């Protein structure tokens, strides 16, 4: 049985919970641990952004005087997307399937250079 790795220094409560939750159930390779660490940092940022967004208005005035979404809300949305992608790249099972999901290759889309027609 392997010893549970302590969370890296600097992580706040949300990041430490995510770290413990994942490493409590799975053995990760080094590159996967790095992805997990970034996901934990992202979870910490989301927590701080939520506090800031809750303390302020939903919209603010930009330099032209237009009402725009509060920057904390915009960044929170971006961080949520990043967290989702980091967690998806770890390929952790959702609880219904056994083992880890199928590995995918490189990014989908362009599959090579096309010749001129």
Would 51 be classed as within a structural domain?
yes
Residue 111 lies in a domain: no
Domains held by the chain: number: 1
Q: How far apart are CA 34 and CA 38, in angstroms?
A: 6
Residue linked to tokens 């990043």: 82
Domain that holds residue 41: 13-89
Task: Look up the pTM and report it.
Answer: 0.76
Asked, for residue 24, whether it belongs to a domain, the answer is yes
From CA 90, how far away is CA 39, in angstroms rounded? 10
In a domain, 95, yes or no: no
> What does pLDDT average to in each consecutive run of 10 residues of the chain (117 residues)?
79 97 93 97 98 94 95 96 96 70 50 59
């Amino acid at each position: 049985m392997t010893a549970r790795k302590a969370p890296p220094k600097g992580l706040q409560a949300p990041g430490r919970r995510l770290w413990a939750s994942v490493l409590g159930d799975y053995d990760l390779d080094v590159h996967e641990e790095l992805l997990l660490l970034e996901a934990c940092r992202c979870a910490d940022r989301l927590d701080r952004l939520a506090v800031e967004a809750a303390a302020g208005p939903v919209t603010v005035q930009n330099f032209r005087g237009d009402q725009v979404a509060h920057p904390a809300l915009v960044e929170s949305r971006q961080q949520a997307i990043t967290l989702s992608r980091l967690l998806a790249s770890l390929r952790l099972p959702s609880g219904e399937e056994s083992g880890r999901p199928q590995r995918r290759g490189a990014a989908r889309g362009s599959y090579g250079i096309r010749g001129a027609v």
